[in-house]
Amino acid sequence: MTENIPREVVIIADDIRSMRIRGAGRIARAGAEALKKAAQLYQGPSSDFRKYMERVASLIVSTRPTAVSLPNAVSYVMRALEAEGDLREMVEAVVRRADEFIESSLKAVRRIGVIGARRIMDGDVILTHCHSTAAVQVIVTAHRMGKKIRVFSTETRPKFQGRITYRALREAGVDVTQIPDSAVRSAMKMVDRVVVGADTVTSDGAVVNKVGTSQVALAAHEARVRVFVAAETYKFSPASAAGVPVIIEERDPSEIVSREWLEKHKGIRVYNPAFDVTPPEYIDAIVTEIGVIPPKAAIMVLKERFGELKPPDRLVLAARDHDEAGVYY
């Protein structure tokens, strides 16, 4: 699939697949940047440019099957090729739309930070899971508003993304404590708000996020703690409204136990889902750049953002067919 695709673009794809680039927003922006680089580095005839860009788009989308932000970003940039033009015009159109997406994504995060921070009260204790730029922005913005808050941040095994969150909050001056994932229920009795991100929001308001999120939400529901999800609207899945299931990516067992251990203990099975699904009943509100909505209003956001909901294009479907796919939701 990588034949005749520039090395710089393949590196970005590999970084997304290997999780050196993490977080749905960062993944989406990296995908847009990869398409931009691919267009700028193209050296073939103008007649082959569209097919070349489609191959690049397929490569990028195939890297992570769950986060809908990635195919949504790719689809947004690739719409630059719907208009006719010479090679220079097509390249400029791709670059322009990639830059537009990246800038709008960053603006959305800043806007979510302000809107979400208003839901944080002075003196609140907050629990967050994994690493979400949007969720971190909410917490940091509340801190900068002068609200005295404390945060519990899970480690988020097996890749420990929660340590990224811990460092980001600590560097911003937030009072933050790292806890193991298994301590969530114990810590919840001290918590006032849960703030997490999302990789995908489905049309029925369910949230697909890092595995363990549903357990956090369940513990919060039991303790009557409100759960807020910070998510840009490009993380909402139009494909889900058309009945296309969301893949829950299953990753390599070596993220859980070493390959040497697996070799030594033949026949051992390891189930390593990267994401889980939190039902809308356990979510109090979704904080987006266009405002705070109840989960059940997700379908309205999709209609507003994407117009008439149609079957998804083949770039979105490509993520569903990724060879590392796990179970479906």
Which residues are annotated as catalytic?
A: 130, 199
Helices and strands in the chain: count of H runs, count of E runs: 13, 10
Q: How many CA atoms lie within 13 A of 59 on its CB side?
A: 25
139 closest CA partner among 154, 128, 123: 128
**Token pair 């680039």: residue:** 21
Q: Evaluate whether 114 touches 86 at the Cβ level (below 8 Å).
A: no
Phi and psi, residue 83, nearest 5° = -85, 150
Q: What is the CA 171 to chain-centroid distance, rounded?
A: 23
Cα end-to-end span (Å), the chain: 28
Sign of CA dihedral 225, 181, 280, 121: positive
287 closest CA partner among 157, 169, 132: 132
**Token pair 């494909």: residue:** 239
Q: Evaluate whether 287 touches 222 at the Cβ level (below 8 Å).
A: no
Rounded to an integer, what distance in angstroms lies between the CA atom of residue 266 and that of residue 210?
29
Rounded to an integer, what distance in angstroms lies between the CA atom of residue 33 and that of residue 27?
10
Q: What is the DSSP letter of 130?
A: S
Rounded to an integer, what distance in angstroms lies between the CA atom of residue 210 and that of residue 29?
19
Q: What DSSP letter does each residue of 161-190 carry, written as one string?
A: HHHHHHHHHHHTT-EEEEE-GGGHHHHGGG
For the purposes of burial, counting CB atoms within 10 Å of the CB of 4, is it exposed (0-12), middle (13-18) or buried (19 or more)? Answer: exposed
